[in-house]
Amino acid sequence: MTGLLVLTAVPAEAEAVRAGLADPTVTVRAVGVGPAVAGATTARLLALAEAAGRPYRAVVSAGIAGGFAGRAPVGGTVLASRSVAADLGAESPGGFIPLDELGMPAELLGAGPTIEADPALLGRLRAALPEAVVGAVLTVSTVTGTTASTAALADRHPDAVAEAMEGYAVAVAAAQAGIPFAELRTISNPIGPRDRDGWRMREAITALTGAARTLS
């Protein structure tokens, strides 16, 4: 069995992770932006490793994210207690209906709209990153950009600390392969109306490099 597989969305995040690594057995790959490409690429990487007789021992989805104000500070680090497909479901006059509440047969839901982080892997990351905020990390296909939609997400997921675009998809691929999964994010901006002047990309990338020192 080979080492840990760390997957980011874009090359800049992968470079930040590599800059902090001390373990040469950790593999880092940028898999693309959004759930579709992230899930497909992760599944391919895991299948190729397994076919070669060198399966990975665990998968971590890592990168920068938006944080819910008052829950995760800009420049801080968060660990996902669970990764959530936050926009997978249906709209209704009474509000959003998650996929698992739509009455579909369980076999059609696959992993379901929420995947819990592997307890042992999450525990090791928490011990190594005691200042990290732990909570749900939401995966969305459209980045939240209004006050109303931010409030709706925060109300629907009271334990959510951050929002990104790949974690749940990577988690599904890991679950299908039977491999432990965790999600690690550093916060570049508060979720809500887009204010590029308020984004702190450099601080988030620096924090990502620091957090990567704990990955092994």
User: What is the per-residue pLDDT across 110-153, written as a single tens digit (0 to 9) for each?
Assistant: 667 889 999 999 999 999 999 999 999 999 998 988 998 899 89
Q: What is the pLDDT of residue 72?
A: 95
Q: What is the pLDDT of residue 121?
A: 96
Contact 161, 72 (CB under 8 A): yes
Q: What is the pLDDT of residue 105?
A: 59
Q: How many domains does the chain have?
A: 1
Q: What is the pLDDT of residue 201?
A: 86
Q: What is the pLDDT of residue 12?
A: 97
Contact 148, 95 (CB under 8 A): no
Q: What is the pLDDT of residues 86-100, one digit of tens each?
A: 888 778 787 787 777
What's 62's domain CATH number?
Answer: 3.40.50.1580
Contact 202, 99 (CB under 8 A): no
State which residues of the chain have pLDDT below 50: none
Contact 193, 146 (CB under 8 A): yes
Q: Residue 86 is part of which domain span?
A: 4-212
